[in-house]
């Protein structure tokens, strides 16, 4: 009897959906995804993630490795910063597959909220320095997927 005869093949898409849902809903991984969505460059250093997620670098690295293995996140290197003492050279950001999954699971609808939360979080001097550091370029399709129209508010005349 083949898979199609038993109906087992029909459940495979649901198994993949369930696997991805479980992958994205784990607390630390979910926070990492939210922080990457909110970051202005969508690329974060480990120190930025540590501060924003509130977990140890070891815990974050473990979850980043899981997201990397799943093809959702990649490690991007900015070679010119490798020799700079106070600037990060390793960053984490989404892959093309990652943004496809985030689109499918409706995470991208939360971009404006994630950005607002990120921008309104008080940051340390080190985190601000890392946030302003030069970064490598994300693939164009990833950049395009993460763009949204940010409202330009007029300063209040008080």
DSSP string, 92-137: EEE-HHHHHHHHHTTGGGGHHHHHHHHHTS---HHHHHHHHS--PP
What pLDDT sits at residue 1? 42
pLDDT tens, 37-94? 999 999 999 999 999 999 999 999 999 999 999 999 999 999 887 777 788 999 999 9
In order of their start, the domains of the chain are 16-140 (1.10.10.10)
Residue 6's pLDDT band, with cuts at 50, 70 and 90, is: very low
pLDDT tens, 94-103? 999 999 999 9
What pLDDT sits at residue 2? 40
What pLDDT sits at residue 61? 97
């Amino acid at each position: 009897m083949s898979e199609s005869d038993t109906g087992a093949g029909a459940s495979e898409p649901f198994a993949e959906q369930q696997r991805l849902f479980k992958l994205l809903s784990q607390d630390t991984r979910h926070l990492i995804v939210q922080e990457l969505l909110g970051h202005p460059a969508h690329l974060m250093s480990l120190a930025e993630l540590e501060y924003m997620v509130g977990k140890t670098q070891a815990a974050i690295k473990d979850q980043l490795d899981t997201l990397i293995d799943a093809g959702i996140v990649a490690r991007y290197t900015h070679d010119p910063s490798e020799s700079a003492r106070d600037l990060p050279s390793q960053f984490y950001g989404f892959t093309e597959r990652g943004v496809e999954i985030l689109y499918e699971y409706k995470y991208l609808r939360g971009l404006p909220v994630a950005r607002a939360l990120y921008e309104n979080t008080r940051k340390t001097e080190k985190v601000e320095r890392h946030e302003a550091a030069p970064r490598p370029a994300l693939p164009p399709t990833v950049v395009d997927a993460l763009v949204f129209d940010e409202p330009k508010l007029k300063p209040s005349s008080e």
